Amino acid sequence: MSLFRKKSIDTILKNAETESHHGGLAKHLGVRDLTAFGIAAIIGAGIFSTIGKASADGGPGVILLFIFTAVACSFAAFAYAEFASLIPVSGSAYTYSYVAFGELFAWIIGWALIMEYAIGNVTVAISWSDYFSSLVQNSTNYRVNEWLCMDYFTAKHNYDLVSSMLVAGVPLEEIQKNGQTAGLVEGFVAYGQAPNLFGMRIIFDAPALFINIIITMLVYRGIKESRNASNIMVMIKIVVVLLVIFVGAFFVDTKNWNPFLPNGIGGLLSGISAVFFAYIGFDAISTTAEECKNPQRDLPRGILYSIIICTILYVAIALVITGMVSYTELNVGDPLAYVFEKVQSLHWLGGVIAVSAVVAMASVMLVFQLGQPRIWMSMSRDGLLPPAFAKIHPKFKTPSFSTIFTGFLVAVPIFFVDINMVTDICSAGTLFAFCLVCAGVLKLRMDPTAPPSKFKTPYVNSKLIIPILFVLTLVLLFVYNRPWIDYYLKWESFNAFLTKIPIYFFFIGFAFLSVMAFKYNFSLIPTLGLLSCFYMLSQLGYKNWLYFTIWLIIGLIIYFAYGRKHSKLAPKKI
């Protein structure tokens, strides 16, 4: 079928070689730079923000969740590494899916990656703004006005809520003191103090727009400049993280590690979205394949090294902060700063952490902003997007139009998107891409004509392991967790049924994968990667699945309206 027409690996490599001879991307990256890009993407909001919420839910046992998520990401990383070695061109999971599954799946993944990189950067930009505004307020005599660090709709919503409470006779002081309503006051003040222009309140997140413009300019300027900036920022934040671990270790009280799992496995798993969000971004390394000096050797190393280093740092940080204070105190937006402010002699470290958090967020933006234009470029080369997206700047050797368009795509939602709205949707898009890359490796392994890869995931036959794992999972659930089974088999209402759909899909997929593994002797590591990423996807909640489905439908409309007709694999009209 034309929807599933595939590109051969030979064709992709020949096209990439032709592009390099006609003013292609500049090759400046080695394994150290790729590892730094990976660390830059991973160590960001996860270590400075979301680790607090995950620790509050899971207790000291959150380290198990970090390790589980790292292992799951490592399974996917092996699949990425194998594809990156086999197809060392820009495009990442989009290009890999084109080879393994065909054009329709390639478009779906390309559209999902837009969600991961561009929309994910909206989240990072807003987080950066929060840290930057706090840093300015706490370290100088200046402060960023509320109407300059919030989106319009959040401010309007909070203003209406607080106004209704004031009308009901609740004093403003009481609203500020109440932990459940205190967060609304900032939006109330922002909307009330915002200047008017033609009857419209001027409210926008100025710091978020500022960092987006700066990062876009840097990425537009060149890969060499981006690499140098990334290396400097990574060095700064690793030094700070190691300082936090070393200093904090002297103030750990091991009594705080007991109980280790205060809220059980359920409490631990409730933080899976936040912890996974801490790891996304390592796959952006593969989008820089055409700018690597030796992509087939260095890309696999850079991907795997960055995950290993970041996992060690995450586990160490989690042990330190849950050892310094009780896990019950960690449900705050800036857990590292909060922990060290509790120790009188370590107040100075709070300022260092605040500065490094600003640097860390900027480095995440840099890597994401590098990845997205290269996805646009690859899709444009295949005819699925207009030719302008494939344009390379003659001097800077970067995808110029795609870079500017990505900056615009990040800037517009900053005016009206709430950060909580996009975090889980971004994770859904990423996990979906991970699942297809793992499945793609399994698909290629079944193709006897596929060329050998210079990096190959170690083969362990999963013929018996996956089916046994499926049966064992069911037995353990029925024997040791019967309430969980009863809960998912009981439908109190249609809404309750909807909330359980993702886990139903997971177990159906698990059963299907067990049959396929037995029949086709699947390789164990990519199979476990597909299984673990699918499980994490099932834990994001049905609303995120719904939003992600809507996003995919929009993408399919664009594909059938433009991409399918203009694809370079489409039959030529005579």
Please write the tens of the pLDDT for every residue from 241-284: 888 888 888 888 888 888 887 777 766 766 666 677 677 777 77
Q: Using an 8 Å Cβ cutoff, are 307 and 282 in contact?
A: yes
| 458 lies in some domain | yes
Reduce the DSSP state of residue 568 to 3 states and report it: coil
Whether residue 11 has pLDDT greater than 80: no
Whether residue 41 has pLDDT greater than 90: no
Q: Classify burial at 153, counting beta carbons within 10 Å of its beta carbon; exposed 0-12, middle 13-18, buried 19 or more.
A: middle
| 24 lies in some domain | no
The residue type at 239: V
Q: Using an 8 Å Cβ cutoff, are 481 and 269 in contact?
A: no
Domain co-membership, 222 together with 91: yes
Q: Are strands 196-197 and 200-201 parallel, antiparallel or unpaired?
A: antiparallel
Give the whole-angstrom CA distance, residue 398 versus residue 93. 20
Among 18-22, 129-133, 392-396, 457-461, the range scoring the smallest mean pLDDT is: 18-22
Q: Tell which residue, 407, 373, 285, 390, has the closest CA to residue 37.
A: 285
Report helix angle 120-139 to 347-381, nearest 10: 150
Confidence of residue 30 (pLDDT cuts 50, 70, 90): confident
Domain co-membership, 240 together with 267: yes
Mind listing the pLDDT tens digit for each residue in 512-530?
Answer: 999 999 999 999 999 998 9
Reduce the DSSP state of residue 292 to 3 states and report it: strand
Domain co-membership, 176 together with 320: no
Stretch 181-207: mean pLDDT, rounded? 83
Query: Which domain range does residue 131 map to?
Result: 29-140+208-441
Whether residue 110 has pLDDT greater than 70: yes
| 147 lies in some domain | no
Domain co-membership, 249 together with 337: yes
Confidence of residue 364 (pLDDT cuts 50, 70, 90): confident
Domain co-membership, 167 together with 215: no
Stretch 381-404: mean pLDDT, rounded? 89
Domain co-membership, 400 together with 527: no
Max mean pLDDT range (61-70, 289-298, 428-437, 510-519): 510-519
Longest dimension (CA), the chain: 79
Whether residue 544 has pLDDT greater than 90: no
Domain co-membership, 182 together with 238: no
H or E stretch including 574? Answer: none
Reduce the DSSP state of residue 94 to 3 states and report it: helix
H or E stretch including 349? Answer: helix 347-381
Q: Using an 8 Å Cβ cutoff, are 205 and 151 in contact?
A: yes
Confidence of residue 535 (pLDDT cuts 50, 70, 90): confident
The residue type at 138: N
pLDDT computed for residue 22 by the predictor: 55
> Can you give the CATH number for the domain in which 421 is found?
1.20.1740.10
Domain co-membership, 486 together with 412: no
Q: What is the percent of the chain where pLDDT is above 90? A: 12
| 59 lies in some domain | yes
Distances (CA, A) of 492 to 107, 450, 482, 499, 543: 38, 50, 18, 11, 18
Mind listing the pLDDT tens digit for each residue in 283-324?
Answer: 778 888 788 888 878 888 888 888 888 888 888 888 888 888
pLDDT computed for residue 277 by the predictor: 67
Q: What pTM was computed for the model?
A: 0.81
| 23 lies in some domain | no
Confidence of residue 419 (pLDDT cuts 50, 70, 90): low
pLDDT computed for residue 572 by the predictor: 62
DSSP string, 29-83: B-HHHHHHHHHHHHSSHIIIIIHHHHHHHHGGGHHHHHHHHHHHHHHHHHHHHHH
Distance of CA 15 to the CA centre of its chain: 30
Peptide bond into 207 cis (omega under 30): no
Side-chain half-sphere of 193: how many Cα atoms within 13 Å? 14
**Residue listed under structure tokens 């393994």:** 100
Domain co-membership, 219 together with 199: no
Confidence of residue 360 (pLDDT cuts 50, 70, 90): confident
Q: What is the percent of the chain where pLDDT is above 70? A: 89
Domain co-membership, 483 together with 350: no
| 507 lies in some domain | yes
Stretch 87-104: mean pLDDT, rounded? 82
Domain co-membership, 61 together with 196: no
Whether residue 1 has pLDDT greater than 60: no
- Of 441, 472, 502, the residue that ends a domain is 441
Q: How many domains does the chain have?
A: 3
| 20 lies in some domain | no
| 22 lies in some domain | no
Domain co-membership, 258 together with 398: yes
- Of 203, 228, 243, the residue that ends a domain is 203
Q: Using an 8 Å Cβ cutoff, are 547 and 112 in contact?
A: no
